[in-house]
Amino acid sequence: MKFAIVSKGDDRSNNIMATMRQYLTEFDLEYDKENPELVISVGGDGTLLEAFHRYIHRLNETAFIGVHTGHLGFYADWVPEEVEKLIIEIAKTPFQVVEYPLLEVNIRAKSGGKEDTFLALNEATIKTADGSVVFDVEIKGEHFETFRGDGLCLSTPSGSTAYNKALGGGILHPSLEAFQLTEMASINNRVFRTIGSPLILPKHHTCLLKPLAERSFLITIDHFTETYTNVKSIQCRVAKEKVRFARFRPFPFWNRVRDSFVSEGEKKV
Ligand code: NAP
């Protein structure tokens, strides 16, 4: 099997990367940075986002796995003390694959021409450095509301524990093929009125944002930001593509949620 490793870049992560590369190569696995079947990220969830975007052109052929060198992660759920065990698992055991949904974002310019299409593993956000954003929000082709405020966040189920959670969004199990729309400080008065609650849209329900005021937008896709002017519309929906994670042991999503946000392990009263 061909593998590649993406490190956060700090000494601890680089050392783990070097150890894993050496041992996996000794087990006759081939290090192939260009065409890996397994990508190991060593660092945090941010490192896995980086690895995902680096190999986004190979989603059908590549599975990801994360080792965390900081605090427990959602995508990085192996600890450094387990690295030897993980190396043996990777070398000896055919892994199971778990697929998570992604968000597709399509940005169209008023001038027409080529659309920009992105895939997000966590979320897309639309903000401006220029006052508030004002959008007509259409859901499944029908006008839903006119949003005015700091911005909107559209998150995947696995991204629901990240920015979305900080905005008061719900946590979605990644087996649900859906995406969530959360508001950032909406202005509500007699002119502008929004639903105020996070919305969870199923697969095939498209959300279309149509800017009503000429603004330059800061559009984030996971950890990177682009500035757009002259935007006609931003369309979001559940992507056809999925991200594939290699699983060597069960680690239920709700256990990860509990261990990250509530308390570690079982609590006996
Ligand atoms: P960062 O600002 O350096 O770190 C963002 C934090 O979010 C890190 O602690 C990261 O974990 C964590 N995180 C990433 N994905 C997560 C997930 N799916 N569930 C729970 N926590 C998650 O930025 P970054 O490392 O480049 O990551 C970009 C992400 O930051 C964005 O996709 C967005 O979700 C998040 N973000 C959050 C807020 C907020 O909560 N107010 C604001 C802006 C951006 P690690 O430490 O393990 O890497």
Do 124 and 156 belong to one domain?
yes
Looking at the domain assignment, is residue 269 inside a domain? Answer: no
Q: Report the separation in Å between the CA atom of 78 and the middle of ligand 1, taken as the mean of its atom positions.
A: 18
* Residues contacting residue 250 through CB under 8 Å, at least 6 positions apart: none
d(CA 23, CA 207): 47
With tokens 């680096």, the residue in question is 54
Looking at the domain assignment, is residue 33 inside a domain? Answer: yes
Do 48 and 134 belong to one domain?
no
Looking at the domain assignment, is residue 62 inside a domain? Answer: yes
Residue 21 CA, chain-centre distance (Å), reads 26
Do 155 and 75 belong to one domain?
no
Q: 57: how many CB neighbours lie within 10 A of its CB?
A: 9
d(CA 206, CA 161): 22
Q: Can you read off the two tokens belonging to residue 18?
A: 């070097």
Residue type present at position 232: K
Q: Exposed, middle or buried, 34 (CB in 10 Å: 0-12/13-18/19+)?
A: exposed
Q: 147: how many CB neighbours lie within 10 A of its CB?
A: 25
CB 41 within 8 A of CB 64: yes
- In the residue annotation, 10 being an active-site residue is answered as no
Nearest residue (by CA) to ligand 1, atom 36, is 163
Do 52 and 67 belong to one domain?
yes
Residue 251 CA, chain-centre distance (Å), reads 19
Do 127 and 157 belong to one domain?
yes
pLDDT in tens, 227-265: 999 999 999 999 999 999 999 998 899 999 999 999 876
DSSP state of 31: E
What range defines the domain where residue 14 resides? Answer: 2-95+248-262
Q: Which of 11, 32, 45, 116 is catalytic?
A: 45
pLDDT band at residue 114 under the 50/70/90 scheme:
confident
116 forms bridges with which residues in the sheet?
A: 107
Looking at the domain assignment, is residue 73 inside a domain? Answer: yes
Residue 265 pLDDT: 65
- Which secondary structure element, helix H or strand E, spans residue 119, and what is its range? strand 116-120
The pTM is what? 0.96
Do 185 and 253 belong to one domain?
no
The helix/strand/coil state of 130 is coil
With tokens 């946590």, the residue in question is 171
pLDDT band at residue 192 under the 50/70/90 scheme:
confident
Longest dimension (CA), the chain: 68
Do 210 and 107 belong to one domain?
yes
- Pocket residues for ligand 1 (CB within 6 Å)? 44-46, 49, 70, 73-74, 122-123, 158-159, 161-163, 166, 222-223
d(CA 120, CA 222): 6
Phi/psi for 267 (5° steps) reads -110, 120
Do 72 and 138 belong to one domain?
no
Count the domains in the chain.
2
pLDDT in tens, 126-178: 999 989 999 999 999 999 999 999 999 999 999 999 999 999 999 999 999 99
Do 213 and 138 belong to one domain?
yes
Do 107 and 65 belong to one domain?
no
